[in-house]
């Protein structure tokens, strides 16, 4: 029997972190938490309520009214995010949110709001969490840290296909611009920028099938747990 550990998966936008995290959670019977969904849901709230993100007291007041929770979708078996009781798992994937989320996630009080909840969720261990600062800031003592990467062209293609299904008017160029923009802000922001933790294992999945990437990651789990 494997002991319960914390697994962090960080990396660039759209390199398949959540796919791997869901695969691992299912294989191990762990909880999967999508930390990016929390920043996306906060962004959705700010857009809906026209919160001026340059006004810190407005941001603070708005955060006081934001309640985030995760609840499992019994069909998919994965947890989905709720904003003040409303399931927003699908709305937050829109490009409108993707275009604003990195600016929102760069605000210090937004990060402390989200990180405190993420750390509380990891108390019981047996969790896979993906994001940008999970192995460096949220769980610096995670037993297994994975840093994911993939070629830019491959990432653009994957995200384009995903978004195209919802919106056939989307262009490859829009998607490429958004990924490059988010990667830039996420890795250059002052607070908790995207970094590879010194003890993270790198997984480049540009040319791996989903089955192959899962196998590599599960072998790492075995090494860390025995
Ligand atoms: O993983 P994602 O693309 O859904 O994340 C959306 C944005 O949220 C991403 O551009 C950066 C931010 N984010 C973050 O700053 N820290 C995290 N732990 C997760 C996401």
Q: Which residues line ligand 1 (CB under 6 A)?
A: 13, 35-36, 39-40, 101-102, 105, 131-134, 182, 186
Counting atoms of ligand 1 from 1, which one is nearest the CA of 134? 18
Mutate to test the pocket of ligand 1, among 22, 37, 105 (most ligand atoms within 8 A of CB): 105
Determine which residue's CA is closest to atom 13 belonging to ligand 1: 36
pLDDT tens, residue by residue, 107-160:
999 999 999 999 999 999 999 999 999 999 999 999 999 999 999 999 999 999
Structural domain tally of the chain? 1
Mean pLDDT of 153-176: 94
Residue 51 lies in a domain: yes
In a domain, 152, yes or no: yes
**CA-proximal residue: ligand 1, atom 4 (nearest):** 36
Nearest CA to ligand 1 atom 10: 102
Q: Render pLDDT for 8-47 as a digit per residue (tens, 0 to 9).
A: 999 999 999 999 999 999 999 999 999 999 999 999 999 9
Considering the entire predicted model, what is its pTM?
A: 0.95
Task: Quickly state the pLDDT bin for 225 (edges 50, 70, 90).
Answer: confident
Tell me, what CATH number does 75's domain have?
A: 3.40.50.300
Number of the ligand 1 atom closest to the C-alpha atom of 39: 8
* pLDDT tens by residue, 77-118: 889 999 999 999 999 999 999 999 999 999 999 999 999 999
Q: Is residue 1 part of a domain?
A: no
Best residue among 39, 150, 158, 182 to mutate for probing ligand 1, ranked by most atoms within 8 Å of CB: 39
SS (H, E, C) the chain: CCCCCEEEEEECCCCCHHHHHHHHHHHHCCEEEEHHHHHHHHHHHHHHCCCCCCCHHHHHHHHCCCCEEEEECCCCCCEEEEECCEECCCHHHCHHHHHHHHHHHCCHHHHHHHHHHHHHHCCCCCEEEEECCHHHHHCCCCCEEEEEECCHHHHHHHHHHHHHHHCCCCCHHHHHHHHHHHHHHHHHCCCCCCCCCCCCEEEECCCCCHHHHHHHHHHHHHHHHC
Residue 133 located in a structural domain: yes
The answer to whether residue 77 is domain-embedded is yes
Q: Which domain holds residue 109?
A: 6-225
In a domain, 63, yes or no: yes
CA 1–ligand 1 middle distance (angstroms) = 33
């Amino acid at each position: 029997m494997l002991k319960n550990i914390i697994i962090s998966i960080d990396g660039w936008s759209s390199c398949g972190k959540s796919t791997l995290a869901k695969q691992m959670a299912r294989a191990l019977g762990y909880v999967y938490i999508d930390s990016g969904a929390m920043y996306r849901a906060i962004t959705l709230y700010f857009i809906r309520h026209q919160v001026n993100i340059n006004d810190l007291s407005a941001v603070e007041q708005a955060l006081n009214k934001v309640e985030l929770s995760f609840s499992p979708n019994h069909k998919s078996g994965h947890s989905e995010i709720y904003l003040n009781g409303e399931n927003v798992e699908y709305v937050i994937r829109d490009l409108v949110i993707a275009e604003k989320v990195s600016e929102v996630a760069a605000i210090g009080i937004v990060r402390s709001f989200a990180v405190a909840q993420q750390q509380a969720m990891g108390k019981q261990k047996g969790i896979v969490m993906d994001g940008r600062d999970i192995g460096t800031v949220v769980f610096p003592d995670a037993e297994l840290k994975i840093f994911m990467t993939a070629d830019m062209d491959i990432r653009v293609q994957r995200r384009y296909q995903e978004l195209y299904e919802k919106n056939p008017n989307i262009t490859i160029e829009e998607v490429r611009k958004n990924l490059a923009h988010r990667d830039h802000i996420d890795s250059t922001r002052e607070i908790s920028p995207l970094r590879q933790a010194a003890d993270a294992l790198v997984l480049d999945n540009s040319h791996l099938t989903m089955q192959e990437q899962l196998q590599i990651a599960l072998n790492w789990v075995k090494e860390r747990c025995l």
